[in-house]
Structure 1
Amino acid sequence: MSRLTQDQSQQLDSIRALAAFAVLLGHTYQTLLLPTLGSWFTVVVLVAQFAVMAFFVLSGFLIGKSACNNVRKHTVFSIGDYTKARVLRLYPPLIAALMLMLFLGLIAPHFFPSGSNALLPIEGVDFIRTGFVTSTADIWGALTFLNGFKVENPSANSPLWSLSLEAWYYVIAAAIFLWPGKKLLALVLVAVTAFVTHGNSLFFLLAPVWFSGFVLALIHQRHPAMSSRVYTWLFLVMSVALVAVTADALWRHPSGNEVVYEKINMFRVVSGLWFACFMAMLLGGKLRFSTCLHKHASYSYTLYVIHFPIMLFALGVFQVFAYGSSARSLMVSVGVVLVSLAVSWSLSRWVENKALLDALLRSAMRRAGSKKTA
């Protein structure tokens, strides 16, 4: 079974970091700059959605690699080890993001000009939200990954929509690896996933994007050279398709704000599959991506889940100050980006530190075991 080389790993990490920055800047534009500038939103949406699809493919690939390593370590797939790895990866940054969201929602009335959690209405302007709203459903929905399925996605942290989709893709991936030896458990996992996700068409629409990365990981395990010409032809075909769907989305108003979700969804699927082809070329050594950002991948997940509440809070605080002035809007935007990066980097030293989280979990399990013995 094949491992990624250090250079390949750093290239993928650099892409992951760049994707997180693209989402951050996209939401910065939408939240703080668009109300004043009033144009180019469609382009920003396409760039941000492409970044999210890159995350999906990378997520599927890394989960596939992790599951293969799980089998190599235990000789059979260990659902316990897989679950532990997913919990330690998903929950610490997510919990930190939800706590931050609740805290900012609690203090918002003390800082917003409205004296409440509501933004001030300005005639003729549509802001990204009308207020900083949180609820109990936001918390338990996000923690159980039911947001977008059984409850609404948190208004104050919209990027969590993608996290819930990915979490249920993880469950299906586990069922695939369980199938050879534990068919009943695999069927139960698929049935639960179907029950939760059946009403969300986006889950099924984007499944090929996530699983393209997953399948790519399985192929790379067996054929690390990735030398087939098929990848080159697929990359060329998908490049043409990507140009076509991008042109279709921008055709009438390339500098406008028109967002047609049917076109955006088509762009999501095509751009995601294009990126999977790009990854195949990268793994085969036919293409290369700079490794200059690879160190920033260490806090990319934390950045993804915490930046939106910070941004929305800043909008409420500086709404009157920033609106109507490009210079002031840009100044606030730069400040919010820097704060988001600083907070993410600081938090990630704890919530994305695998060694520390493993040690804390082992310590907690030892304490629990000693209490039972006593």
Structure 2
Amino acid sequence: MIKSLTIGQSTMLNLIRALAAFSVLVGHTLVGVVPVSWFGKVVPFQSLAVVVFFWLSGFLIAYQCLNKVKYSFSEYMIDRFSRIYVLYIPALIISYVVFIMVLGRVPPATWDLVGHLLQLQHTPFARMIEGVPPIKVYGGNSVLWTIAIEWWLYVFFGIAFFWRSMSLTERVFAIALAGPAVLVVGYFTVWESVAWEWFLGAACAAIYVYAPQTNWKQILVPLAAVVVGMLWRFQKLSLASQINMYDLQLMILVGVVLMFVVLASTNLPVVSSVRWVVAKGAYVSYAMYLTHEPIRVLISKYMNVSQMANAWLSIFLCVLFAAACAWLLEDKHLDLRRWLKKKLIAPERELITVQANKLS
């Protein structure tokens, strides 16, 4: 069953993605501003933006899998690997250059480097298995912890979704990945709740694909009700010293709000210029998310970013750097996945065809 996103819905999803990435950058930058900034320090919207990213990831990955015909586990894993690593590896290099070579921080050990390459940073192995040394954050790029969780969520979902249609080779590979995937996803579901937001996004994608088409009038009342519930939860959490954006009830309400917003955008009229700007914002978002921390810290070495004007100049420079990275690398994951599929999947399919012809 193929149910395409409308122009309004795809534009809304791009807008959410762009705003989430920009919120992470702004929140991390304004934390150090004097006097204390409401955005980022008092209310850590950058953490809420991370929650939104998990929902978006679950929604888009599940939507893609539900709508693709003859899509295999091998193709899925190549797609996910290419999407993450084409910008992730350069982000590691940028982090090393800035934090280690320029700022003189302690260089990462080999264990830390290998751990980041295998997406083991911030994973629970060191906390749950005695004797496993922890993997320190690479240089100081603190956002990389979410990439590891995303990766293992991809693996976990892929194994569950494609298991029945896997070949023998794919099942052997899936079994090898299943152990760490279950451990990481289980930990971030039971002890830290962010994985729930990813699964909520995936469930919302299934609802979207299989539910009848709706319009904004049908969504308006339930959307308003959930927004009220979200604001109520914000008010309850604000009684603490700092709002916990990873509160499970808040995350669930945020996910439901996002779903209703997407549904309400079905027939949203979008001017072509607005659609272009939003698409470019989404295009830069992943590069901005991965690179803003080292660039922001580097700028702060030469500029007093505790002043509001300088903080916004720093934000602007981080966006420019991310735009340059996206221009150079963002689409390269498409080339990489085509090359990997040609090298890894095409020969296997040819062999299966030859064997089938011999049997017939």
* TM-score above 0.5: yes
CA distance in 2, matches of 1:85, 1:67: 11
Q: Is the 8 A contact 2:296 2:314 kept in 1?
A: yes
How far has the Cα of 1:303 moved from its partner?
A: 0.4
Q: Compare 167-176 and 43-52 and name the one that shifted more.
A: 43-52
Q: Is the 8 A contact 2:153 2:185 kept in 1?
A: no
Q: Name the SS for the 2:61 alignment partner.
A: helix
Alignment of 1:196-215 (within 5 A): 196-200=184-188, 205-215=193-203
Alignment of 1:147-158 (within 5 A): 147-149=121-123, 150=125, 151-154=135-138, 156-158=140-142
Counterpart for residue 48 of structure 2 = 50
How far has the Cα of 1:157 moved from its partner?
A: 0.9
Cα RMSD of the aligned pairs, angstroms, is 3.6
Q: Which letter maps to 1:2? A: K
Counterpart for residue 159 of structure 1 = 143
Q: Name the SS for the 1:38 alignment partner.
A: coil
Alignment of 1:1-374 (within 5 A): 1-30=2-31, 32-33=32-33, 36-40=34-38, 45-70=43-68, 72=69, 74=70, 77-109=71-103, 116-117=104-105, 134-149=108-123, 150=125, 151-154=135-138, 156-182=140-166, 185=171, 189-200=177-188, 205-223=193-211, 225-226=213-214, 235-251=223-239, 258-259=241-242, 261=244, 264-266=246-248, 269-282=251-264, 284-285=266-267, 291=275, 292-318=277-303, 321-322=304-305, 329-354=307-332, 357-358=335-336, 361=339, 365=343
Change in Cα spacing, 1:197 to 1:61, as seen in structure 2 (3 Å) is: closer
Counterpart for residue 255 of structure 1 = none
CA distance in 2, matches of 1:195, 1:359: 27
Q: Is the 8 A contact 1:92 1:351 kept in 2?
A: yes
How far has the Cα of 1:286 moved from its partner?
A: 8.6
CA distance in 2, matches of 1:350, 1:360: 18
State the TM-score, normalized to the length of structure 2.
0.77
The alignment of Structure 1 onto Structure 2 pairs a total of residues equal to 327
Change in Cα spacing, 1:298 to 1:275, as seen in structure 2 (3 Å) is: same
Question: Which residues of structure 2 form unaligned runs of 5+?
Answer: 126-134, 348-360
How far has the Cα of 1:146 moved from its partner?
A: 1.0
Q: Is the 8 A contact 2:6 2:266 kept in 1?
A: no
How far has the Cα of 1:107 moved from its partner?
A: 3.3
The sequence identity of aligned pairs, in percent, is 24
Q: Is the 8 A contact 1:231 1:280 kept in 2?
A: no
Change in Cα spacing, 1:249 to 1:205, as seen in structure 2 (3 Å) is: same
Change in Cα spacing, 1:242 to 1:187, as seen in structure 2 (3 Å) is: farther
Q: Which letter maps to 1:214? A: A
Q: Name the SS for the 1:217 alignment partner.
A: helix
State the TM-score, normalized to the length of structure 1.
0.74
Q: Which letter maps to 2:56? A: L
How far has the Cα of 1:163 moved from its partner?
A: 1.6
Change in Cα spacing, 1:279 to 1:85, as seen in structure 2 (3 Å) is: farther
How far has the Cα of 1:53 moved from its partner?
A: 1.7
Q: Which letter maps to 1:361? A: W
Question: Which residues of structure 1 form unaligned runs of 5+?
Answer: 110-115, 118-131, 253-257, 324-328, 370-374
CA distance in 1, matches of 2:248, 2:269: 25
